Structure 1
Amino acid sequence: MSETRTALVTGANKGIGYEIAAGLGALGHRVVVGARDDIRRETAVEKLRAAGVDAYGVPLDVTGDQSVSEAARLIERRAGVLDVLVNNAGISGPMGPDWTQDPSALDLDVVRAVVDTNVLGVIRVTNAMLPLLRRSPAPRIVNVSSGVASLARQADPDIEIGPVMAAYAPSKSFLNAVTVQYARQFAGTGILINAACPGLVATDFTGFFGSRTPEQGAATAIRLATLPDDGPTGSFFEDEGVIPW
């Protein structure tokens, strides 16, 4: 079996996900671009290959059981193992003025859709890929979270945390909590799983508002995806270090 490490990045066709894929590819990983849109997925793969990255794409809708199962089968047939999983795909749900989501007027269908992608999608993909990850000598899982997931920061009146986002922010807090539960379950197995905050990155997700580039936003996830065997697990990181829960 090839010694090249294989990494799956969900939502890797653009933005931070693409730069995570590019960064891992530059480090020598074979990169699997997971994305729903066929054209955007293949465009990303072509761009990565043009940059010298060993990359291929798999159709992947993180909200669909069949899509996720088929993606796992495709990766198994092609690589036989998965060394890195980066759960990057996510949505915010509709926003009001200034990115607000008013909890007192929130459509429950919006909450369901956001949680289905940002939390259930991560569980769905992680569990489908676990048999392949367990074949790796050093499996790593990274869940792309957000600084708004920090309850400590949200509750501190002296910290500017941004607008009320009653669907998106709790979904990322939920994701962080799930990450901790996986870390507890994986204790002693060699699987390291952590959450990464990319910061406020200028992409189409933010309407290109933000002080950070996609490359900067990808840095923490790339670091966590390449941790040594004695690296941390069950933690929440940004560039400066651990984020308070």
Structure 2
Amino acid sequence: MNSNPKTALVVSAHSADFVWRAGGAIALHAQQGYAVHIVCLSFGERGESAKLWRKGEMTEQLVKDARREEAQRAADILGASVEFFDIGDYPMRADKDTLFRLADVYRRVQPEFVLSHSIKDPYNYDHPLAMNLAQEARIIAQAEGYRPGETIIGAPPVYSFEPHQPEQCEWRPDVLLDITEVWDKKYAAIQCMAGQEHLWEYYTRVALQRGVQAKRNVGIASSRNIVYGEGYQSLFPRVTENLA
């Protein structure tokens, strides 16, 4: 066992977002030995849980409990740890204490990379807020003057995972990740999201589409049997010693 594994951080607005959009990346890196940690800012109890509310005799706390259980089971399948900030949704609002709390997670996790939402999303204002929090907390966690004496973080690359309607969010992937070998884990995690069953096949189609694109970009002659993929957009330049 590696006592000091590489780490990754995922900042998810709602408790199912990390599954649809980054479940493959989480499972793949966990399989590679990374300690992946997920922060769910809210449970999505108001705006992401219509099926639960339609059952009747439901309270906000009961919905939160159901969503927490779903997300925890999904994270366990993917091989990640998860924590819940429970700051609410529709609308989501974050104060300075929430920002510092997330900065403390960065300091504790020391991530090699960070995944969160698209910078724009006209359909869901909670999503850009999550990315803004992820970015600002990253900056704070880099500051020597924040909690002096603690170990600061470096400059982990930040990737925006795929929004539900990419074109409307001005999102264009510049990274295609082959998740074929962990697709079974991602789909098992997807099936934990009983409150949003209508999205199961949608995100299966997304994964197949990105898989086709990934296969094309490695070349038809490649021996890699890519079937499923995930798309990501990098926020910062990649520093490298060669362009291969």
TM-score by length of 2: 0.47
TM-score by length of 1: 0.47
Higher relative contact order, structure no. (Cα contacts within 8 Å, ≥ 6 residues apart): 2
